Chain A
Amino acid sequence: MVKEEEDSSNRPDNTAFTQQRLPAWQPILSAGIVIPGFVLIGLAFIGIGVGLFLTSRDIQVLEMDYTGADGSSPCSVCYNLADKNCVCTMSFSIDSLIKGPVFFYYGLTNYFQNQRRYGVSRDDKQLYGDTSNFASPNSECAPYQYISNVPIVPCGSVANSMFNDTFELFKNVNGQSLPVPLDGKGIAWWTDYNVKFQNPNVTPLINAFNGTVRPPFWSKNVYELDTTDASNNGFINQDFLVWMRRAALPDFRKLYRRITDGDYSAGLPAGNYSLKIHYNYPVNGFGGKKKVVFSNVSWMGGKNEFLGIAYLVIGSLCVVMSVVMLIVYAKFKFPEDN
């Protein structure tokens, strides 16, 4: 035995790996798997599709354009932003209760938050409260980096272009306009609010911003965004957070307020409403549209009929395909002979 091994010192090892004999599973696309597989997948998809479709159909959405580009809109007076602090009011009625919780969104179209140069024009360190970047903001922020050598905080295009229309919602009951309470908390991501964005660890907050200047388009300083609530002020102002999470596509909507308080926790009841709009944000320059949306959500999020329909269509196609494959299989049949 020993001798044999000595004699064949060059003999390769006999392992399943070196001899390429690893045990393996070798599936093939046989009719017995593929056709029933397609039928099952098809049926499952149709099932999911029906569920999604019904869920999505139950979601109620109320969408209103208030751009004012056409003259008939109540906000057309504000469209050209001739006068500052332009206010317009839109009235609308709801036929049936929009079940709560109801979310109040503003939407913009043709707005390129996903432009690369726009996207990089920010300073995450600044927003994280790193005061060293207050004095010298990220160069990507240019041209909103300095104003005559005074650093801008928060710098960059994203912050500078923050949406600044504000809304007040009133329910008209018997000729009276009762304000609908809007909740501006809890509209941003937990991680944005708690981790990604931090105010500098300086009290009072204003001291941190000595020697800086606010973005040129802003009317308030960042530490004045919500003077009533320190936990919603500065970089962790939730409206600011929502804006800073830039959209993936040029048409987007962003959460403005939640309607959850008091009488409205069950939803927006039927009736007449008026929406008072403080029209500040210019969109006429680039032909964008502004809108407000009232919507509730389901387990699968906001209204989106695409998924349900897609699942239904694909599911049906799978079933059809399985029939086609069955016909092909029956007609040609895998040739048994060589």
Chain B
Amino acid sequence: MGLLVSYFGNLFGKEKKQEEERHLRANDRPFNLSYQYANNSIKTSKYNVFTFLPLNLFEQFRRLANAYFLFLLLLQLIPQISSLSWFTTAVPLVMVLAMTAVKDASDDINRHKCDRQVNNRKVNVLVGGELKNEKWMNVEVGDIVKLESNHFVTADLLLLSSSEPLNLVYVETAELDGETNLKVKQALTVTGEMGDNIGTLSSFRGEVRCEPPNNRLDKFKGTLTMNGRNYGLDNDKVLLRGCTLRNTEWCFGLVLFGGPDTKLMQNSGKTVFKRTSIDHLMNVLVLCIFGFLVAMCFILAVGNAIWEVKEGSVFTVFLPREPGVNAALSSFLSFWSYVIVLNTVVPISLYVSVEIIRLGNSFYIDWDRKMYHPKSDTPAQARTTTLNEELGQIKYIFSDKTGTLTQNIMTFNKCSIHGKNYGELFDFSGQRVEITEKTERVDFSWNQLADPKFVFHDYSLVETVKEGNPEAQAFFRLLALCHTVMPEEKKEGELNYQAQSPDEGALVTAARNFGFVFRSRTPESISIMEMGMKVTYELLAVLDFNNVRKRMSVIVRSPEGKMSLYCKGADTIIYERLHPSCSKLMEVTTGHLNEYAGDGLRTLVLAYKDLEESYMEGWRQRHHEASTALEGREERLDELYEEIEKDMILLGATAVEDKLQDGVPQTIEQLAKADIKIWVLTGDKQETAENIGYSCNMLREEMKEVFIVAANTAEGVKEELQNARRKMCPAAAEDPSVIKARAGLFWLKMTETVEDEKVDDEYGLIINGHSLAFALEKDLELELLRTACMCKTVICCRVTPLQKAQVVELVKKYKQSVTLAIGDGANDVSMIKAAHIGVGISGQEGMQAVLSSDFSFAQFRYLQRLLLVHGRWSYLRMCKFLRYFFYKNFTFTFLHFWYAFFCGFSAQTVYDEWFITLYNLMYTALPILSLCLFDQDVNDRWSFQYPQLYSPGQLNMYFSKKAFVRCMMHSCYSSLILFFIPWAAMHDTVRDDGRDIADYQSFALLAQTCLLVVVSVQLCLDTYYWTTVNQFFVWGSLAAYFAVTFTMYSNGMFLIFTSAFPFIGTARNSLIQPNVWLTILLTSLLCTLPVVALRFILIQIHPTVNDKVRYKVQKEVLPAPAPRRPPARRISTRRSGYAFSHSQGYGDLVTSKWFLLKRPLKGRAMLFGQTDSTLAENKPQHYRSITEGSQSSGLGGGH
């Protein structure tokens, strides 16, 4: 009954007005039902058994092409007009509709299954004072449900109470936003008091007023009224459908939104369809073709009128007109008749074939083993199957840095301790040895708590530490103490660190392996194992990191009572605060720092200071006052920190490598050779970004200049951009030359294009987020675009997600070229969606980028294969397909046009109707499909060897309006040959036994055979890559043609279907005649030879890159693999900056009591996952040094 009511509720709910506020009462179904809120059943399927056919057909006929064919079919039902039998249009149309319908049906069946599975999930619902196991779809708004650990959240719930202290609940939101870390939700204390007391819960009558259903995942507003008091509700108290409960034994929740109203469902189904530029071009062309069709029909209709007046009126003796038909009406009818006959210029199979080809090429991407990442077991994935050929036309790539160019894994690489450099290997002659995978690693087995995955190659450091060198020990002690990392020790000795930034994790792990193991922390103490001895330090203060301070310190008291301050931070900042006695050490360390920076490493300087007991007491007092002050707390604290962090003693410096992904520099070099411009858009700081720019070969020492735009005012930015531009290209006009044009369907779209300007030398541009904000303003954007496009490399740092999208939009708007955005994090989603093609790196930062991307793979370096091989081939194939497809259909259709002049413009077809039906569907479909699935101009290795092969795609060279017109001219020529050669050869001639051969049926057979041979030969000419499949389909199709023709023209078929196959005997009678075959030979050669000659001469006079490489391929067997040269060591004074995470640290949290109230961490619980913001900048890095579970111990034992 309830189901029925809610069903009707749903039904009427649609008609009711937009909900303005949701009002519900717990445990009061009648009250809530009065509002007719949707219950918790979902329906993502579109059809049911009865509605499938009408709805699906309706949807399909909304497509222009299908509707057009339906229109043709209707025209054919009018006998006065019908120039073709109904089946010529009906058969292809039905086939196309059926194929699409089958696909839609199977999709919908899957959705049905999915819906049913989800709707039938069970959950405990509080009904009538007891828990009942109910199906999800029967849950109503206002019900109280009980969830247990690892259960999916049933609906959008208001959290009431939980098993955890402080009414906390841990949820995983992977299905919602793709992030795998845990987030914390907390119930109101008043509701939390109810606990799991069923009695209290079922008598709970709280009333909730909240916002109506919407799709904002990060916002919720509402109030709970309970016992006459109001409590505010926010996002922290709401569990959203799609999340999974983790590490929480049980919790109770009140259903706020059910089924379709949940935020998950409100968020789904609004995908923006991306279409390729070829799609747009195709639409325009199809429109042109329609126009052309109308023009042809008009000409023929006029011809008909003239014929009717001059010839038809007197021929009425033998061919009387139907009553009431005069020349004008006949001409009108003939117009429509020709619309039917010539309909093949807009072939219905075009769209279907295009989809099939794209799908096939997407499968190749999925199948490619060279884009499969064995380490993560991730194959490449074409998530959108309709954009392949666009991959061959990319002009601009916008790349994220962290996780995309880099692995987002930090490794402790080198260090300088007390003026001595560690971490490099030298051979006997003192030459630096390059460290590779095979280089022997330092054995840490003496340290039971060491992380087995930590890799270090320099033995001397271990020796130094073991010897008891005080500086080295202090160095690692500092690393073990001064951080905000959280330890997790599930089993004795199995340590797991959860660090806010990967840098910190790397440093603490390094200390751990060198014998200073950070073990546990409380708000007041830090326990570490110092060379096997447990030492507990009293934690007096954490002087936390922020962007201004660029350093962090801790003040600790050792068990001996010695108080010290340990500080790590950016070199420039720390150097200012060192004791003068360190000046000599500073010099040496500076040398090391420069060396590290030259290698692109992220550096930190470490320093310490011993503190006096007496001074400390006073300071702590003041610190306490400052931190509890109501006014100016921040400033007062800063002053205090400033005061204590001075006259420190330098310990040394660390160098952490932000490891580039494999092959990134090579990939970038390749893409640059392919004339693709790469812009890096990163949230990182300028120094870091700049460094990465150098290490991945985007910025080079031989560049003439690297401009840095970092101004704080619009004028400043403008001036800097203009200066840069004038320097690069003094001759360029001050005002940008904007070319305005119209494009698109009906030429409605206005386009503005800024032309590329030529610059002789190579330049780089680095612009920071602040300047970018000014530069992206309306009046400066063109200036930015011009300057940026003149540079070889553009790096934007400190960029917000929105700005990323804006930059992409800017280039899209004014360059009219194809853009690609690649990224891995939630902050890249906007640009991935904005760009023509979005690529997601399935890496460490969750799945959100991948979920909104069109293509995804595990490593940046696969991008070159995706573009230079798959993209190029797809583009080549698609263009070949379109050129050939239009050619074959135009040629086919033009023959009717020429024949019209000989048959009184009567819409008499040249071919047999069955040939018309089967031409596109059967005789020519498979050869072109196999061409488009197998063709390659040169194989993948050559594609890599000559990235220049990519540029024709960027310039739209293979298919454009021009190419289309060329296609039409070619068709025109071929059709003239195809009509007039048989015409002349058959005119007035007879068979070798004197009988008829110039009859209509023989002529039709001859014309269609010639046509099919010619288009097959043309296909062969266009094929670069002859596989057996191609051969099979080409010869097979021709053979099928003859087989089908002989069958259809056979006695048997005529006896069975007398009226359908009137061509009986034609094949037998005419295909045994030598002059018929001589005519076929003549037409096919006459159509082919000029093409061959023209192509040959063009290759000689204007060889394209393609021709040259193909010529080379013929001569050589395979290109020699390019030598992998090690990246040149950069000698530079550029210094990498302070490399901490970008956001405020967690110092407060670590020292607060809050986290201690929590029970010991279970499983993968993440303390820091409390933020609901989707911005990655605020999101902590999940760093883990020991792999989970038994696998790690197994591995560890093996080593």
A113 and B1085 within 8 A (CB): no
| Given known contacts A8-B374, A157-B319, A130 and B1058 CB-to-CB distance under 8 angstroms | yes
8 Å CB contact of B377 from A7, A118, A252: A7
Which residues of chain B are near A128, meaning CB under 8 Å? 1058
For the complex formed, measure the closest distance between the CB of B1066 and the CB atoms of chain A, giving whole angstroms: 8
Answer yes or no: B1051 CB below 8 A from chain A CBs: yes
Answer yes or no: B1068 CB below 8 A from chain A CBs: yes
8 Å CB contact of B903 from A114, A299, A300: A114
Which residues of chain A are near B1073, meaning CB under 8 Å? 300-301
B379 and A12 within 8 A (CB): yes
A248 and B986 within 8 A (CB): yes
For the complex formed, measure the closest distance between the CB of B523 and the CB atoms of chain A, giving whole angstroms: 43
Q: How far apart sit A314 and B836, CA to CA, in the bound complex (Å)?
A: 50
Answer yes or no: B299 CB below 8 A from chain A CBs: no
CB contact list, A30-75 vs B, under 8 A = 30-31, 34, 37-38, 41, 45, 48, 52
| Given known contacts A18-B367, A29-B1095, A101 and B994 CB-to-CB distance under 8 angstroms | yes
8 Å CB contact of A332 from B991, B993, B1101: B1101
For the complex formed, measure the closest distance between the CB of B185 and the CB atoms of chain A, giving whole angstroms: 34
8 Å CB contact of B902 from A114, A139, A310: A114
For the complex formed, measure the closest distance between the CB of B322 and the CB atoms of chain A, giving whole angstroms: 7
Interface size, chain B (Cβ < 8 Å): 97
Q: How far apart sit A30 and B1114, CA to CA, in the bound complex (Å)?
A: 10
9-residue interface stretch from A85-93, A191-199, A203-211, A223-231: A191-199
CB contact list, A283-338 vs B, under 8 A = 285-287, 295, 297-304, 306-307, 310-311, 314, 318, 321, 324-325, 328-329, 332-335, 338
Which residues of chain A are near B372, meaning CB under 8 Å? 10-12
For the complex formed, measure the closest distance between the CB of B333 and the CB atoms of chain A, giving whole angstroms: 10
B988 and A191 within 8 A (CB): no
Answer yes or no: A269 CB below 8 A from chain B CBs: no
9-residue interface stretch from B242-250, B310-318, B1040-1048: B310-318
Which residues of chain B are near A303, meaning CB under 8 Å? 989
Q: How far apart sit A192 and B1065, CA to CA, in the bound complex (Å)?
A: 8
B1029 and A286 within 8 A (CB): no
8 Å CB contact of B1108 from A26, A160, A252, A335: A335
Q: How far apart sit A248 and B986, CA to CA, in the bound complex (Å)?
A: 9
Which residues of chain B are near A306, meaning CB under 8 Å? 984-985, 987
Q: How far apart sit A295 and B379, CA to CA, in the bound complex (Å)?
A: 74
Q: How far apart sit A222 and B1003, CA to CA, in the bound complex (Å)?
A: 28
Q: Which residue of chain A lies nearest to B1067 when distances are taken between CB atoms in the complex? A: A191
For the complex formed, measure the closest distance between the CB of A100 and the CB atoms of chain B, giving whole angstroms: 11
Kindly state the interface size class of chain A when it binds its partner: 35 or more
B987 and A251 within 8 A (CB): yes
| Given known contacts A11-B369, A41-B1089, A160-B318, A115 and B904 CB-to-CB distance under 8 angstroms | yes
| Given known contacts A12-B379, A143-B322, A247-B1000, A307 and B1075 CB-to-CB distance under 8 angstroms | yes
A299 and B992 within 8 A (CB): yes
8 Å CB contact of A301 from B366, B1055, B1075: B1075
Answer yes or no: A255 CB below 8 A from chain B CBs: yes
Annotate B367-391 by CB proximity to A: 1 below 8 A, 0 otherwise: 1111010100111000000000000
8 Å CB contact of A249 from B987, B1027, B1113: B987
B992 and A301 within 8 A (CB): yes
Q: Which residue of chain A lies nearest to B987 when distances are taken between CB atoms in the complex? A: A249
Which residues of chain B are near A195, meaning CB under 8 Å? 1051, 1054-1055, 1064-1065
Q: How far apart sit A196 and B1075, CA to CA, in the bound complex (Å)?
A: 25
B1064 and A304 within 8 A (CB): no
CB contact list, B968-1026 vs A, under 8 A = 981, 983-1004, 1024-1026
Q: How far apart sit A123 and B983, CA to CA, in the bound complex (Å)?
A: 28
Q: How far apart sit A219 and B887, CA to CA, in the bound complex (Å)?
A: 52
A157 and B1111 within 8 A (CB): no
Q: How far apart sit A118 and B316, CA to CA, in the bound complex (Å)?
A: 10
Q: How far apart sit A325 and B981, CA to CA, in the bound complex (Å)?
A: 26
| Given known contacts A25-B1026, A125-B1059, A332-B1100, A248 and B998 CB-to-CB distance under 8 angstroms | yes
Task: Count CB-based A-B contacts (< 8 Å).
Answer: 283
Annotate B303-343 by CB proximity to A: 1 below 8 A, 0 otherwise: 00000000100110111101100000000000001000000
A307 and B318 within 8 A (CB): no
Answer yes or no: B1082 CB below 8 A from chain A CBs: yes
| Given known contacts A28-B1110, A30-B1111, A195-B1051, A297 and B994 CB-to-CB distance under 8 angstroms | yes
Answer yes or no: A220 CB below 8 A from chain B CBs: no
For the complex formed, measure the closest distance between the CB of B1002 and the CB atoms of chain A, giving whole angstroms: 7
Annotate A255-293 by CB proximity to B: 1 below 8 A, 0 otherwise: 100100000000000000000000000100111000000
Annotate B1062-1098 by CB proximity to A: 1 below 8 A, 0 otherwise: 1011001100011100110010011001001101110
9-residue interface stretch from A147-155, A167-175, A182-190: A182-190
Which residues of chain B are near A119, meaning CB under 8 Å? 908, 1000
Q: How far apart sit A252 and B753, CA to CA, in the bound complex (Å)?
A: 60
Answer yes or no: A79 CB below 8 A from chain B CBs: no
Which residues of chain A are near B319, meaning CB under 8 Å? 112, 115, 117-118, 121, 157, 161
Q: Which residue of chain B lies nearest to A254 when distances are taken between CB atoms in the complex? A: B996
Q: Which residue of chain A lies nearest to B1095 when distances are taken between CB atoms in the complex? A: A29
Answer yes or no: A179 CB below 8 A from chain B CBs: no
Answer yes or no: B907 CB below 8 A from chain A CBs: yes
Q: How far apart sit A8 and B376, CA to CA, in the bound complex (Å)?
A: 9
Which residues of chain B are near A103, meaning CB under 8 Å? 990, 994
CB contact list, A109-162 vs B, under 8 A = 110-119, 121, 124-125, 128, 130, 139, 142-143, 157, 160-161
Q: Considering residues A128, A191, A252, A287, which has the most beta carbons from chain B within 10 angstroms of its beta carbon? A: A191
Which residues of chain B are near A113, meaning CB under 8 Å? 1000
B318 and A22 within 8 A (CB): no
| Given known contacts A286-B314, A325-B1096, A26 and B1024 CB-to-CB distance under 8 angstroms | yes
For the complex formed, measure the closest distance between the CB of A2 and the CB atoms of chain B, giving whole angstroms: 16
B1113 and A189 within 8 A (CB): no
| Given known contacts A112-B311, A116-B903, A116-B908, A329 and B992 CB-to-CB distance under 8 angstroms | no
| Given known contacts A34-B1092, A124-B1058, A251-B987, A189 and B318 CB-to-CB distance under 8 angstroms | no
B369 and A14 within 8 A (CB): yes
A310 and B984 within 8 A (CB): yes
Answer yes or no: B83 CB below 8 A from chain A CBs: yes
A18 and B364 within 8 A (CB): yes
Q: Which residue of chain B lies nearest to A193 when distances are taken between CB atoms in the complex? A: B1065
| Given known contacts A302-B990, A321-B1089, A22 and B934 CB-to-CB distance under 8 angstroms | yes
Answer yes or no: A19 CB below 8 A from chain B CBs: yes
For the complex formed, measure the closest distance between the CB of A58 and the CB atoms of chain B, giving whole angstroms: 14
A304 and B1065 within 8 A (CB): no
Answer yes or no: B1163 CB below 8 A from chain A CBs: no
For the complex formed, measure the closest distance between the CB of B1118 and the CB atoms of chain A, giving whole angstroms: 12
For the complex formed, measure the closest distance between the CB of A112 and the CB atoms of chain B, giving whole angstroms: 5
Which residues of chain A are near B987, meaning CB under 8 Å? 249, 251, 304, 306
Q: Considering residues B934, B990, B994, B1100, which has the most beta carbons from chain A within 10 angstroms of its beta carbon? A: B994
8 Å CB contact of B1078 from A124, A246, A254, A307: A307
CB contact list, B98-153 vs A, under 8 A = none
Answer yes or no: B198 CB below 8 A from chain A CBs: no
Answer yes or no: B1103 CB below 8 A from chain A CBs: yes
Which residues of chain A are near B904, meaning CB under 8 Å? 112, 114-115, 250
Q: Considering residues A14, A24, A111, A255, which has the most beta carbons from chain B within 10 angstroms of its beta carbon? A: A24
A334 and B1100 within 8 A (CB): yes
Given A157-B320, A196-B1062: 8 more A-B contacts, CB < 8 Å: A11-B369, A18-B367, A111-B315, A116-B903, A190-B1065, A190-B1069, A286-B314, A334-B1107
Q: List 27 A-B contacts (CB under 8 A).
A: A7-B377, A8-B374, A12-B379, A18-B367, A20-B873, A20-B936, A21-B939, A22-B1027, A28-B1110, A28-B1114, A45-B1085, A111-B318, A115-B904, A116-B907, A116-B908, A117-B319, A124-B1059, A161-B318, A248-B998, A251-B988, A258-B994, A285-B317, A298-B992, A300-B1078, A302-B989, A307-B1078, A328-B1100
Closest 6 CB pairs of A and B: A191-B1065, A248-B1003, A18-B367, A103-B994, A302-B990, A116-B906
